[in-house]
Structure 1
Amino acid sequence: MKKYIVCFIIIIILLLILMNTKRGKTVTTHIKGTISNVIKKADYICEQGDSISTRVLAPTGYKRKAYPKGSFQEYLRNYRLKKHGAPIINYDDTKYFAQHWHDAILEVPVPANGLQQCADALMRIRAEYLWDADRKDEIGFNFTSGHYCSWKKYAEGFRPKIQGNKVTFHKTALPNDSKANFYKYLNLIYTYAGTLSLHTELPKVEIKDLTIGDMLVKPGSPGHIEIIVDEIVNNEGGKLFLLAQGNTPAQNVCLLKNFENTSISPWYQFEENVAVYTPSYYFEKGIFLRFK
């Protein structure tokens, strides 16, 4: 009987300790001369948050860097998320095999045609931002061939004629600036642009100058690309970032965990000439791009 009473008392004590443990800190308690340490791993995920900025908390000593209202940085930081625990779904409605890589799913629809892969998803996010900001004339991307394809000309009815690396544009369709036609334009971009064209077209950014919206890239066919969707800074100027990615096969855009430094996950810290490991890809060097 005494044995059960002792066990019951120990369980009650442990529950009280856990209830009073602060996030990411060690609580030491003394019970009749015995020292017991209870360590709870830092957790920066707020399950009730419905956007990037409300889902992911900042570690102690850090705060979110302010950006102007209407900026691409604020657009990404406040991007809407699916409910906590939502799985990664492929374009064909199957579940992706790796469901342990992510902490959130962005509300980016995935076309059933399978075209919207890693770079494509980021180009879609950028194009939709420009559309929503009424900056439609700025929407345009280079094909891998180097030829620029703008939404403005596409909406006017111009279509590319592609013969190998030679591309010419001809007016072969009626003018149509509808949202439905805009997504047809994006399907064309997905077909002829990618990580390689973005790497060739866009300016490179040094790590010390990184901001929300910059993209970590390994150019190639295939290559891979991920985008910074939030940024925090401490009093010493140290910065941490969140990364999101689309993937191949075409699937949900997800917010990535940090398996290399779980103490700050899903936040990442980047250093010059240091490899970057993310759950789905190894970047030998941190090469970053910025949309114009």
Structure 2
Amino acid sequence: MKKLLVFVGIAFITAILFYQFKPIEYAKSTLIPTAYTASYINKDGLTIKNRVNAPKGYKRVPCTAGSFQAYLRNYKLKPFGTKIINYDDTEYFWQRGHIGVLDIPVPKNGLQQCADALIRIRSEYLWDNNRKGEIGFNFTSGHYFSWEKYAEGYRPNIKGNSVSFHKTAYKNHSKDNFYKYLNIIYMYSGTLSLYNELPKINNSKDLKIGDMLIKGGSPGHIVMICDEAINASGDKIYLLFQGNTPAQSVHLVKNLEDTTQSPWYHLEKDAVIPVSNYTFYNSKFVSFK
């Protein structure tokens, strides 16, 4: 009887995960018209900005050189047609929800899932721009752990919800050690901790590149705005990328609900927003500090 109950429980959880993360079936069979592809997608483009053209009547919102916004807009992409690969080198089961794969490695340990991928991208930006002192995240327990403390040799001692930090290692400020720090963050942080920690965006008109659409929880999901454009009426549209569970290639997503403007999205707070293989039913937005 106990084994039967365990089996039923696993089947129930699996069904929930499939429902949350399944591709949008009605859109899977919808092919993007050739004219649309030619006008919006530049297959030779190897950055987000160069891969996707702004629609007629829209222009990209200016951003400051060296800013996180410019960093994301100009993020390198792998050649057009690159497949999404899972952390174990297998192909993701569905390859029709993206128009680009970001040039970012997927660790073989399986830890770099949806929230983790965005944490990595933000952390690498801060590292590359000599802002290492700003790298730090809350665990799901609420305890803050910075790169600086890790580099000084401090490590977490975790017992349930009890977390303490002790100096148990030598100082090491190397890039290799930085990625070991990120593995700790991947293990103990996620969509729930980011939702609780980060500032909320209450007006969708304030959205900008680098902000995130989030559902905090287990399971939860998160995607990041990586480009934006505006028309003369002030109407804004956005491009999105995401990591996923299982850990896999970070990818620039199509808009499967509206192929006339895909991959651009209109984003509204509290709206239902399908994004590739996940649907946000009550959309909320957060921003890195």
| TM interval, short-chain normalised | 0.7 to 0.9
User: Against the structure 1 CA distance between its residues 173 and 40, is the aligned structure 2 distance closer, same or farther, given a 3 Å change threshold?
Assistant: closer
The reply on whether 1:283 has 2:283 as its aligned counterpart is: no
Alignment of 1:56-95 (within 5 A): 56-95=52-91
What displacement does 1:272 show?
3.6
Alignment of 1:219-234 (within 5 A): 219-234=216-231
CA–CA distance in 1 between the matches of 2:72 and 2:34? 31
AA of the residue aligned to 1:146: G
Aligned residue among 151, 161, 166 for 1:165:
161
> Is the CA contact (8 Å cut-off) linking 1:144 and 1:192 kept in structure 2?
yes
Q: Is the 8 A contact 2:99 2:252 kept in 1?
A: yes
Residues matched between the structures, number = 254
SS across alignment from 1:288 = strand
Distance 1:82 1:40, change over 3 A: closer
Q: How does 1:153-232 map to 2 (within 5 A)?
A: 153-205=149-201, 206-232=203-229
* TM norm structure 1: 0.86
Find the counterpart in structure 2 of residue 12 from structure 1.
none
Q: Which of 31, 39, 42 in structure 1 is aligned with 2:36?
A: 42
After the TM superposition, which of the residue ranges 244-253 and 278-287 deviates more from structure 2?
Answer: 278-287
**Partners in 1 of 2:143 and 2:270 — Cα distance?**
31
Would you say the 8 A contact 2:269–2:284 is kept in 1? no
Distance (whole Å) between structure 1 residues aligned to residue 146 and residue 267 of structure 2:
33
> How well do the aligned residues superpose, as a CA RMSD in angstroms?
0.9
- Percent identity between matched residues is 61
Aligned pair partner of 1:110 in 106, 112, 115: 106
Assess if the C-alpha contact under 8 Å between 2:140 and 2:193 holds in 1: yes
Aligned to 2:36, the other structure's residue is in SS state coil
Structure 1 residue 102, shift from structure 2 partner: 0.3
Query: How far apart are residue 156 of structure 1 and its match?
Result: 0.4
Structure with the bigger RCO (C-alpha within 8 Å, sep 6+) is 2
Task: Pick the aligned partner of 1:140 from 113, 136, 143.
Answer: 136
1:267 pairs, out of 257, 261, 264, with: 264
| Partner Cα distance (1:121, 1:155) in 2 | 21
Q: Which deviates further from its counterpart, 264-273 or 153-162?
A: 264-273
Q: Which has the higher strand share?
A: 1
Aligned structure 1 segments of 4 or more residues deviating by more than 4 angstroms: none
Deviation of 1:150 (Å): 0.1
Distance 1:108 1:207 in 2: 29
Larger of the two Rg values belongs to structure: 1
Larger relative helix fraction? 2
Q: Name whichever of 203-212 and 189-198 sits farther off.
A: 203-212
Instruction: List runs of 5+ in structure 1 lacking aligned partners.
Output: 1-38
